[in-house]
Amino acid sequence: MKAEKNNWQSELKKNTKALAMWTFLWVFTLAFVAFGPKFIWNENKIITIVMIIVNTLVGVGMILINRKHLNSQDPLQRKITMDAMAITLGITLILGISYSMLDITNLITFNAEISHLVFIMGITYLIAMLIGNARYK
């Protein structure tokens, strides 16, 4: 029983490290795509397209390792995580569409940027995880 628990914990630790690495790689390649054309490769479209493809492929890898990480969690932690993801999806979808409508109808004086939505998504997920973990302590 103890050996099984240690094996599960080591698998979870390994998957957590892999997820952190893939997340870092995705953010790094995203920054490369965002700043590379202007500061590194002088607006070369071919290099930009290649880097966008690389970023997309790394993003797919991050999604796959995230799924593996979820499957290695214990049932309670998986429930907390899935609940947080569901809340995040719902809030992001509703606020995102409302935000876009504000922009389309010119009720806001600035453009609705995806970065604003990503910020809301991150904050929502963080708060939902904190509440979920506190609820089941």
Instruction: Note the pLDDT of residue 3.
Output: 67
Tokens representing residue 43 in the block = 């607006």
Predicted TM-score of the model (pTM): 0.82
Tokens representing residue 29 in the block = 């390649």
Instruction: Note the pLDDT of residue 108.
Output: 95
Confidence label for 2 from pLDDT (cuts 50, 70 and 90): low
> What's the helix, strand, coil split of the chain in %, to 5?
85, 0, 15
The DSSP code for 110 is S
Asked if 129 and 135 touch (Cβ cutoff 8 Å), the reply is no
Q: Domain residues of the chain, as ranges?
A: 1-72, 74-137
31-43 pLDDT, tens digit each: 999 999 999 999 9
56-114 pLDDT, tens digit each: 999 999 999 999 999 999 999 999 999 999 999 999 999 999 999 999 999 999 999 99
